[in-house]
Structure 1
Amino acid sequence: MSETRRTFLRHAGGALVGLTLAPLAACERNEVMTLQQGQSLPFKTPVPDFYVINGGREAVDGWPGVPDLSRSDWTLEVEGLVDRSLTLSYSDLTEAEDLPEVSLLKTMRCVSDPTPTVLPENLLYAGTAVWTGVPLRAVLQRAGIDREKTNRLRLYAEDGYNNNLPIGRVYGPDVKTGPILAYRMNGQVLPRDHGFPVRVVAPRLYGYKNVKWLARIEATDNDSVFGQYQNRLGFVDDADVRATSRVSDPLPGNEVPAGDVRVEGYALSGYAGVDRVDVAVDDGPFRPASIQSRESVAEANPDVQGTRQWQDRSSFEYPFAGVWALWSTTVTLSQGQRTIRVRTTDRAGNQQPPTDPDPNDGSNAIAEVEVTVT
């Protein structure tokens, strides 16, 4: 492990789990929803409750802090392997007829969002929102990108943070859902802490690819890994959200009465939609939990019906890839210390492993919650 990574982990709260150093650094604890008692998660996370992660805080030397930008002084540069370099203003991006507005559902999740057994604070580093903006490919089309020569898009933020998207993420399987350049979140103007004026929202990928306060896009034929989270901190470049689950109720250390106990939480995979969630008690067998229905989600969140995934049923099967599925079940608990275990399987067959030997590709071991049954 490099000295830089050791320092980063120490400053941001790295924790030893067994013999594995879990890279909790990627989710430095600046502003998150702290869960002390169990709760039911809403499908769509209210903006005030949405976690805030500023990747540049530890990844950028001399990080200047959250940029204070206005619509009038912000511009986006598009350059590199393009026919014509662009300088786009906020109104250029939001009002142009050739840049159609789209809305997407996406669960933003930090690469190191721990299972509840890792941090006693039970911090939640994930949330789901309706993100609205323009397709990145439409901006690249206006610039005349050379798709034959371009291998990656290098993304630069106003705060000095950077990362990349392989060109296949723009024109490959995700073409119908993004990436987008987002300027609204749950119908509101994108808040400053979430990247105002404009951020990248990349379906299926961990948060560190979703660059906030976007300032410049460079199309390049250089296919080497580019980004501080990868090059400095050691996280994987593909950034696909691995199949994972989380228990939101009960939480580790909670006391619950003996008998039938409701257990609930979320499941997520960037590879494919969630196929099933199974729950076990101690070393007992896994049994299927119920996943919230599409109809129930729409009834509680009418605005999700305007998203690309909801409108194009032929292309997007619910639960959606890269969007959490809320689940619940009832387990019977006897007195004593009991461990509730949760395992997610997606439609591509990816399943949470019993342990996570490589947290650099995301913390996704089977979730375990120990409770006291009285």
Structure 2
Amino acid sequence: MESGRPGATPSEPPSSSAGHRAGAPDRLPAGPAALVGVLGLGAGLAVGHLVAGVLGPNASPFLAVGNTAIDLAPAPVKEFAIRTFGTHDKLVLIGGMGVVLLGLAVVAGLLSRRGPRPGTVFAVVLGAVGVAAVWSRPDLGPVDLLAPVAALVVGVVVFRWLHAVAVRRGARVGDGASAEGVEGAAVDGAAVDGSPAGAGTGRRRFLVMSAGVAVGAGVAGTGGQLLAGRGDTGGSAVGLGPLTPATPAPPIPAGADFAPLGTPSFITSNSDFYRVDTALSVPRVRVENWALRLHGGVDREVVLGYADIRDMPLVERTVTITCVSNEVGGEYVSTSNFIGVPLRDVLERAGVKPGADQLFSTSVDGWTCGTPVADVLDRGLLAIGMNGEPLPIEHGFPARLVVPGLYGYVSATKWVVDLELNRFDDKQAYWLERGWAQRAPIKTQSRIDAPSPFTTVPAGSVTVAGIAYAQQRGIGKVEVRADGGPWRTAELGTEVNLATWRMWRVELDLGPGEHTVECRATDRTGATQPEARVAPTPDGATGWHSTQFTVG
């Protein structure tokens, strides 16, 4: 019969199906398309990181964008990050950036199922952002643009190449192709589902090539990390040998802390010293490459090398540093024996002219700080050592500023390379531009360290212990009360100097059950820590610290 088409072969597809496939544009399946987007991004970032390993770690487009994001973030966002994530805020930022970029790469890949143009545009835009970020960084120069440019080129090339491989090797499906049929079966060169008989082999080739790109990206990224560490300052620091001050700090007297009762030890170890800064990648500066420029309101501009500082008479001072981001009861306060040269002696090398009221200091990564000149000349220190060792990398090696009595954002520039004498009206430093106070003396504070919050302590006499600080004024007394009752005066630890914290303890007779204990400090001027809670912005937090625990 005519309708039975007796001459047709079993392999001949229905004409309607053939016509549909002939006229429909091909498109990649969602999985391969997303994979192409992710691998293009990963290859670009990895090569950018590799090139940055040769030029300098901060030239990595990923880190440059992250550092720029930190600088552009509004102050409330920064405060939230520090308050919520503490010293892990940078890891959270890096992780968040990674998740966002991964999501964008997947979307770019999915938008490129019918052609590579959307993903190409995405790669170019992302590369341009990396170029702009590197260009805008104060610690990077024109040659550092090679890193983001390499990332852009490699990202585009890898994306388009993998996309072409995916299409050419059969990692695609027709718009209306059926997914039904017997897997692997083929008749006359065509699978039952209508895809080419070699599609399985083609897909395997695509996956092998994709795996190769992934491995290559991993090797490039790891290589960049290793290259970045090749100039590690650790060896540079070790080669310096011990730092022996001509004027050592007095020994810490007995009774200065109550560590067995739960307070910190009086001297904070280098590994435990708090760290809060804006550096996404810790600057690494070798002593042979470091120089400090003195200029501005001086008689003559001077550039000092590390040996110049090391050869000056070194002094050792025990100082407590406090971060302005510290909430009431916060942990961003630590004490160290800093070794260095009085800033007065350093500045005298250039000759200080009258009239300047600000020492404007700049870090190697471009961060800036403004410190009152009067405080600098009175007690400022250019520190090169910490607890008998050269400064740790994360705490400012080779040199940093330490000016006791002022919050760190106006007194503690790490990796310092530039000192300019000027007036506060001339320039605004990093945090002043973001609404923080110009002069920031540390406020009188106290904190309860023991018992820990929400713990259970044995019945009987309960020891409450903690710290207090009012740098440059000194602590006169600490008072403690339980459950809103009368204040009890605590026993103070032995005073070391006015620039450091002071430990305290008190015995309370508390019955079984839950209790709330509060503390307040009074400094040597008679000013008492106020009860009202005030946030750190713009010049430091205030309020009484309290803790709750249960007596068993």
> Cα gap change, 1:330/1:225 in structure 2, threshold over 3 Å: closer, same or farther?
farther
Aligned to 2:431, what secondary structure does the other structure show?
Answer: helix
Contact 1:13/1:28 (8 A) holds in 2: no
Matched, 1:250 2:413: no
Contact 1:155/1:162 (8 A) holds in 2: yes
Give me the whole-angstrom Cα distance separating, in 2, the residues matched to 1:211 and 1:70: 17
Report how far residue 29 of structure 1 moved: 4.6
State the partner residue of 1:215.
Answer: 417
Aligned to 2:406, what secondary structure does the other structure show?
Answer: coil
State the partner residue of 1:342.
Answer: 519
1:225-284 CA-to-partner distances (Å, cap 9, x unmatched) read: 72222321x332222110001111112111112321111111000250100011110111
Matched, 1:367 2:545: yes
For structure 2, the residue ranges without an aligned partner over 5 or more in a row are 1-71, 92-260
> Cα gap change, 1:11/1:49 in structure 2, threshold over 3 Å: closer, same or farther?
closer
* 2:389 partner amino acid: Q
State the partner residue of 2:341.
Answer: 134
Contact 1:40/1:249 (8 A) holds in 2: yes
Contact 2:376/2:403 (8 A) holds in 1: no
TM (normalized to structure 2)?
A: 0.53
Alignment of 1:1-374 (within 5 A): 4-13=74-83, 29=89, 39-54=262-277, 56-57=278-279, 65-96=281-312, 100-116=313-329, 124-146=331-353, 148-171=354-377, 175=378, 178-208=379-409, 209-223=411-425, 226-232=428-434, 234-293=435-494, 318=495, 320-360=497-537, 361-374=539-552
Report how far residue 369 of structure 1 moved: 0.6
> Cα gap change, 1:89/1:364 in structure 2, threshold over 3 Å: closer, same or farther?
same
Task: Pick the structure with greater CA Rg.
Answer: 2
Report how far residue 319 of structure 1 moved: 5.2
> Cα gap change, 1:226/1:270 in structure 2, threshold over 3 Å: closer, same or farther?
farther
* 2:421 partner amino acid: A
Q: Which has the higher contact order (CA 8 A, sep 6+)?
A: 1
> Cα gap change, 1:188/1:140 in structure 2, threshold over 3 Å: closer, same or farther?
same
1:28-87 CA-to-partner distances (Å, cap 9, x unmatched) read: 6569xxxxxx83311111112211222x24xxxxx5x21111111111011111111111
Give me the whole-angstrom Cα distance separating, in 2, the residues matched to 1:74 and 1:203: 25
TM (normalized to structure 1)?
A: 0.77
4+ residue segments displaced more than 4 Å:
27-31
Report how far residue 363 of structure 1 moved: 2.0
Give me the whole-angstrom Cα distance separating, in 2, the residues matched to 1:225 and 1:166: 13
Report how far residue 144 of structure 1 moved: 1.0
Contact 1:225/1:231 (8 A) holds in 2: no
Relative to its length, the structure with more helix (as a share) is 2
Percent sequence identity is 33
- How well do the aligned residues superpose, as a CA RMSD in angstroms? 2.3
Contact 1:28/1:53 (8 A) holds in 2: no
Contact 1:80/1:219 (8 A) holds in 2: yes
